[in-house]
Amino acid sequence: MNNVQTLITSIYEPKTLSETMNKQQTYYETMYILRPDIAEDEVTNHIDKYNKLLEEFGGTILDSQMRGKRRLAYQIAKHREGVYVQLSHQGDGQHILKIEKAMRLSEDVIRYMTVKQEGPLPSPRPSNKGVAQSENKDNPEPKVESKEKQAVTSSDSSNSVRDNSEIKENTES
């Protein structure tokens, strides 16, 4: 009887928010925008610089991705485009002030923002640009039109031949 009561109370008793979120962890996402006129090797130098600074200040890097050059919604410091970089990291929160101060003092960072996230930790993903370039280098495949496209063009040309013969018949009569 006692086991049944504990089972019922564990099922129907509402859990607190902290109990339901015990599997989820707190981490931070920092998105920063670099000037668009920076060379690509300089961009990777900046990414490495901020990653090293973050680790020096006591944070751990979960994921770092260069999102590429994108058009800005509005002009920032006379720039219409920017190179977006996303950085996911964990720490005590004190490291954020220090990394943001370094970004504020840099002339190459035109905007930055750090957001506190709660949930499952992000898994590191390869950069989109690096993967696409390496696949193209490893497997250089010539572009071949599909058979469907070829069939469509051949049927279109046969239709135009029929249309031309109908026009000739109409003009002859």
| Residue-wise pLDDT tens digits, 56-86 | 999 999 999 999 999 999 999 999 999 999 9
Mean pLDDT, residues 139-144 taken together? 44
Higher pLDDT, 12 or 167: 12
- What integer pLDDT is reported at residue 124 of this predicted model? 73
- Whether residue 150 is predicted with pLDDT greater than 90 in this model: the reply is no
CA distance 69 to 64: 16
Both tokens of residue 9? 């109370």
Read off the pLDDT of each residue in 39-59 and give the average, rounded to a whole number: 94
Q: What is the pLDDT of residues 82-127, one digit of tens each?
A: 999 999 999 988 999 999 999 999 999 999 999 999 888 887 766 5
**Residue ranges per domain, the chain?**
24-120
149 — pLDDT class (breaks 50, 70, 90): very low
pLDDT at residue 127 in the model: 53
What is the CATH architecture of 24-120? 2-Layer Sandwich (3.30)
pLDDT at 133: 43
Looking only at the bridges linking them, the beta strands covering 25-34 and 79-90 are antiparallel
Confidence of residue 139 (pLDDT cuts 50, 70, 90): very low
pTM, 2 dp: 0.60
- 120 secondary structure, DSSP code: S
Res. 54: pLDDT tops 50: yes
The strand ranges marked E within 3-51 are 25-34
Model pLDDT, residue 120: 84
Residues 100/32, Cβ–Cβ less than 8 Å: no
Tracing tokens 């020096």 back to the chain, one arrives at 56
What's residue 6's pLDDT? 64
pLDDT at 20 over 80: no
- State the DSSP code for 16: P
